[in-house]
Homo-oligomer: A and B are copies of this chain.
Amino acid sequence: MRSLSQRQKEMLSFITAFISENGYPPTHEQIRQGLKMSTKSLVNHHLKALERKGVIEREPETPRGIKLLDGLRSFKVPLLGQIAASEEPISFTDSDYEEIELTPDIVKEQDGLYALRVKGDSMIDALINDGDIVVMRHQAVAEGGEMVAVRLKDRNETTLKRFYPEGKRVRLQPANSRVEPVFVHPANVEIQGKVMAVIRHVA
């Protein structure tokens, strides 16, 4: 993005604040009043410049038809429940769930996401604490190196580890490089989802 002049920055800032406050963009007249200009044609002039610089997009002849291109892009993800080593697999049919609001700076891809809250400290060798939120993506097969939620059928236990198929066995590698990997038979493994991100509330 080319740099903006002082007046352009002011206009962009005004529009951003207006949208935050009101939920919809301002009219040219509202911008004119807000920036203490005497004419709407000056507003149009600056909006054209912001458009040329790739900062906004305008829908022609459309009241409030201004879109910020560097606008905020959050989205919501269902927080379906909890994950712990010893619990039953998560049920995805629950329709009465919380949601958490994420952004592309937390998780790039948005398809098929859900979140789970970690219960207990059994995930600590994945550097995941009790109470952390893991953002998952629905996925029943994994590629080598992906971190997944894996259910070990013989132990009736779920763990979060990096998954490496190695011939006749699977290596499950903890995130903490100082902890030894686990080796299991492929038939013993059920992949419940791929870990996309972890969020920890501290304060």
Q: Which residues of A contact B (CB under 8 A)?
A: 20, 22-25, 57, 59, 63-68, 71-76, 100-107, 121, 124, 127-129, 137, 146-147, 175-178, 194-203
Contacts and interface: CB of A to CB of B under 8 A. Distances in A.
A46 B102 CA distance: 29
A199 B68 CA distance: 26
B66 A24 contact: yes
Copies, count? 2
B105 A22 contact: no
A12 to B, nearest CB: 13
B203 A137 contact: yes
A65 B24 contact: yes
B199 A197 contact: yes
A202 B147 contact: yes
A68 B23 contact: yes
A103 B104 contact: no
